[in-house]
Chains A and B, each alone.
Chain A
Amino acid sequence: MDIFLNYLWAFIVGGLLCVIAQVLIDKTKLTPARILVLYVCAGVLLTGIGVYEYIVSFAGAGATVPLTGFGYTIAKGVREAVNKDGLLGALTGGLGQTAGGIAGALCFGFLVSLVFSSKPKK
């Protein structure tokens, strides 16, 4: 039963984060690129004030997979690094934690460009 609840919360929280972005796209002049930037910054902010960790605790991937989770990972990494290395951690902590994701996107993106070409749209 617990595992079912985990999945349900992941679905609901992840879905809701997307709905908020959809409303912003359709109702305001915010472009998708601006919304993504807004989302990572919001993730850092919410983690900073301690809210996001609470959401992650029950929503799991529903909170970490959306781009706000990218901001959460950055803020968490920065905090740990500051605890360990002092002020230098503000620069070393963020990208260190997200390196896997960024490097993954770059490498897979590059590999995909080796194999595929863009296609005309129907």
Chain B
Amino acid sequence: MEQGIIKLKREPKIISSYSVVGNKEHSGPLGELFDEYCQDDKFGKDSWEKSESEMQRRALCGAIKKSGLIDTELDVLLAGDLLNQCVGSNYSITNFDIPYLGLYGACSTCAEGLAIGACLYSGGIINSCGVMTSSHYCSSERQFRFPLEYGGQRTPTAQWTATGAGAFILGDEGRIKISEALFGKAIDKGISDVNNMGAAMAPAAIDTIKRYFLQSNHSPEDFDLIITGDLGYEGSEILKDLLLGYGVDIRKNHTDCGLMLFDRERQDVHAGASGCGCSAVVMSADIIPNLEKGVLKDVLFIGTGALMSPMSLYQGGTIPAVAHLVRLRSE
């Protein structure tokens, strides 16, 4: 079917995953589940961009080690982040001997990478690959908003960029398989408020989820979990509310990575977390272990990215968004 759900004939398994986070993430509700964290968010480096790269390097090292493979056994690495020219990924992967494809999908990068990797595997083009992404509060704040020490106020709909990197190894072995993928379309509903990214991303998630249920024979109840990443509180509410208007009720089993990473009240993060790293570390530290244990058996993961550029906003532009879907099942 054109533009339809990609049903993977040869289903890749998630062999391993690894998460590295900052201090604030570690003191959040999922704190103990992450593989590694850094007290001062610097990871021993002297600039925030280098810290982000180092975080990725540690995540990929960890994931490769867990998988029992070595880097030269991976056919390709799909990685990306939020920074200009994807410097977070570009500098981390020079430490490895793996062919590299750079991705930019903002916060959807984790889902985008998993979906592309799964398609390449399913087509018999590769037999294994790495998927990695990251975001760092300090490097993002500098690039997209204000200097870190600038005194400003956030509005209640603003989201907090997560400091974290997640890496995944796909291949032949493992209990969790990726069975379907659906690539999202870039959707722009005219939102230009950088303090309400959830509202900018929700329409993209709605489009992808709507298309999925229209084309598949499934209903939302068939899944243990429909997890978006990262719409935050505002975007999640919009998503559930508007999907209901299309006859798709995901209120019972929906959650959002941006709502899981932090305690919104205690940690003063307003509408929740965002950033490529958010969904990557939540998937790696919480969802994937639960799929492995069999607590979850069938999960739809929809990565949502706000493709925001400060320059375009100054030119009077709005914020396009994209949402990619992957279906994860445990055997």
Contacts and interface: CB of A to CB of B under 8 A. Distances in A.
State yes or no: do A and B touch (Cβ within 8 Å): yes
B22 interface: yes
Interface residues of A, number: 8
Contact of A118 (B23, B24, B138, B193): B138
Nearest to A120: B41
A23 to B, nearest CB: 13
B68 interface: no
B331 interface: no
B2 interface: no
Contacts, number: 27
B233 interface: no
B153 A25 contact: yes
Interface string B230-260: 0000000000000000000000000000000
A122 B148 CA distance: 11
B149 A118 contact: yes
Contacts of B149: 118-119
A121 to B, nearest CB: 7
Contacts of A96: none
A32 interface: yes
Interface of B: 22-24, 40-42, 48, 137-138, 141, 147-149, 152-153, 163, 193
Interface of A: 25, 29, 32, 118-122
- Counting from the closest, the 7 A-B pairs by CB-CB distance are A120-B41, A118-B148, A118-B149, A120-B138, A32-B152, A122-B24, A120-B40
